């Protein structure tokens, strides 16, 4: 028998490619994951999300992966969810076998465009974007119609066990929020079948169902390697999805032996200043890819929820790159040099964090190290 590969896997929240020219922000998580992989001798899996029941996104994959390879991430390290549909379906079947995914008869709300579809007896979310609540009936903002209550419909429902709380979160200040989300997950029934044709069919014992596509791809952690430790990188704006994906992963594995996954949730980087817009909207494609790598890693913060694309950091990154290319830097290895620059990221802490599962937080003001 071949020796089982035991390197840790660092993976990304699935990247939804939506155009032929992606903003630099869409490369933020892969660049960080790649950096951590290099520092920790792990394997990298960048996940691209093309499973979408509304629109075909296949044409956007090649421009994105071409750019990824400029950033040093090879095609062997990229996994497209659509190419792994059958394996994802096997995971869903496993969830059904284990009793987490069940066929039920429930009342549900459905609007005329079909985008708003939910169990009728769950708490409505007042801050939801695509529907609003006027009175008791949810109103779809997309087709501008009140949803109709449909009684006794056969549906697929996903439920989670109470002790689904698992795994660490880096940075530690996100931990409290993650624990709250993990506690919240088992309190809900999740509708995962759809009335409209999603292109994905699940055969239950009683009926055939159209499976929610988002539910399908959110199972991707289970196809990455059961014997490995997983580190999942995604901005803290998707913390809820990361927790849900981890919960799904735990449910699909043997819960006694399943390895826990650690969530790494850096800041969400916001476009604020006009002066840098041209660069991050596409200008980066015409410049040295290492400039983007330095800029991305220098713009990410582990200390706050949001950080900003900043012209000062771009200037700093240019200067840093110039020094590297001229060999002024005593260390010629680019990765080492980059990591030396990233005080904001606290490389040593991150490394220790990945090894020991603990993050030692410290605040750094980035202006302090602009020359
Ligand atoms: Zn609608």
Asked which of 50-59, 162-171, 215-224 is least confident by mean pLDDT, the reply is 162-171
- Please tell me the predicted confidence (pLDDT) of residue 4: 52
Give a yes or no: residue 315 inside a domain. yes
Global pTM reads: 0.86
Give a yes or no: residue 329 inside a domain. yes
Per-residue pLDDT of 315-344, as tens digits, reads: 888 887 887 777 655 444 555 555 554 444
Give a yes or no: residue 97 inside a domain. no
Distance 128 CA to ligand 1 centre (A): 13
Beta strand 137-140 pairing with 145-146:
antiparallel
CA-to-CA separations, 343 to 300, 348, 364, 368, in angstroms, rounded: 10, 9, 7, 10
Give a yes or no: residue 336 inside a domain. yes
Give a yes or no: residue 24 inside a domain. no
Distance 117 CA to ligand 1 centre (A): 9
The token pair at 315 is 């200037």
Distance 108 CA to ligand 1 centre (A): 14
Per-residue pLDDT of 180-194, as tens digits, reads: 999 999 999 999 999
Distance 147 CA to ligand 1 centre (A): 7
How many domains would you assign to the chain? 1
Distance in Å from the first CA to the final CA of the chain: 56
CA-to-CA separations, 296 to 25, 284, 320, 329, 353, in angstroms, rounded: 8, 11, 13, 20, 21
Give a yes or no: residue 96 inside a domain. no
Q: Find, among 345, 347, 258, 274, the residue nearest to 307 by Cα.
A: 345
Give a yes or no: residue 333 inside a domain. yes
Give a yes or no: residue 259 inside a domain. no
Distance 133 CA to ligand 1 centre (A): 13
Cis peptide upstream of residue 174 (ω within 30 degrees of 0): no
Distance 130 CA to ligand 1 centre (A): 8
How would DSSP label each residue in 257-317? Answer: TPPPEEEE--PEEEE--GGGHHHHTTGGGGS-HHHHHHHHHHH--SSSSEEEE-HHHHHHH
Per-residue pLDDT of 30-67, as tens digits, reads: 998 988 887 777 899 999 999 987 889 999 999 999 99
| Phi then psi dihedrals of residue 360, to 5 deg | -100, 110
Q: Assess contact for 115 and 140: CB atoms under 8 A.
A: yes
Distance 32 CA to ligand 1 centre (A): 37
Q: Assess contact for 106 and 65: CB atoms under 8 A.
A: no
Q: Assess contact for 80 and 50: CB atoms under 8 A.
A: yes
* Domain span holding position 299: 270-369
């Amino acid at each position: 028998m071949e020796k089982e590969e035991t390197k840790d896997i660092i993976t990304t929240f699935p990247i939804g490619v939506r155009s032929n020219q992606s903003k630099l922000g869409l490369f933020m998580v892969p660049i960080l994951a790649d950096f951590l992989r290099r520092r920790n001798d792990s394997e990298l899996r960048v996940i691209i999300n093309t499973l979408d029941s509304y629109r075909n996104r296949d044409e956007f994959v090649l421009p994105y992966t071409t750019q990824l390879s400029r950033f040093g991430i090879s095609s062997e390290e990229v996994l497209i969810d659509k190419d792994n549909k059958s394996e994802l379906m096997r995971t869903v079947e496993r969830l059904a076998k284990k009793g987490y995914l069940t066929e039920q008869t429930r009342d549900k709300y459905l609007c005329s465009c079909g985008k708003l579809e939910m169990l009728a007896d769950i708490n409505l979310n007042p801050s939801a974007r695509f529907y609003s609540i006027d009175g008791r009936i949810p109103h779809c903002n997309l087709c501008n119609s009140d949803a109709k209550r449909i009684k006794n419909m056969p549906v697929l429902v996903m439920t989670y066990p109470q002790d689904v709380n698992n795994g660490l979160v880096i940075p530690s200040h996100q931990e409290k929020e993650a624990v709250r989300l993990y506690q919240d997950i088992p309190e809900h029934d999740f509708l995962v079948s759809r009335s409209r044709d999603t292109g994905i069919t699940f055969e239950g014992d009683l009926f055939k169902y159209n499976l929610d596509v988002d539910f399908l791809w959110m199972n991707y952690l289970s196809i990455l390697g059961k014997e490995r430790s997983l580190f999942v990188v995604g901005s803290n704006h998707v913390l809820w999805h990361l927790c849900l994906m981890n919960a799904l992963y735990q449910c699909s594995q043997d819960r006694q032996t399943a390895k826990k996954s650690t969530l790494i949730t850096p800041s969400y980087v916001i476009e604020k200043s006009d002066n840098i817009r041209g660069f991050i909207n596409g200008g980066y494609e015409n410049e040295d890819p290492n400039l983007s790598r330095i800029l991305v890693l220098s713009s990410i913060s582990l200390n706050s929820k949001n950080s900003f694309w900043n012209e000062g950091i771009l200037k700093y990154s240019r200067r840093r790159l110039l020094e590297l290319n001229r060999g002024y830097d005593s260390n010629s290895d680019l990765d080492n040099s980059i990591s030396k620059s990233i005080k904001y990221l606290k490389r040593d802490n991150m490394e220790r964090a990945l090894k020991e599962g603990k993050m030692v937080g410290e605040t750094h003001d980035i202006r302090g190290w602009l020359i």
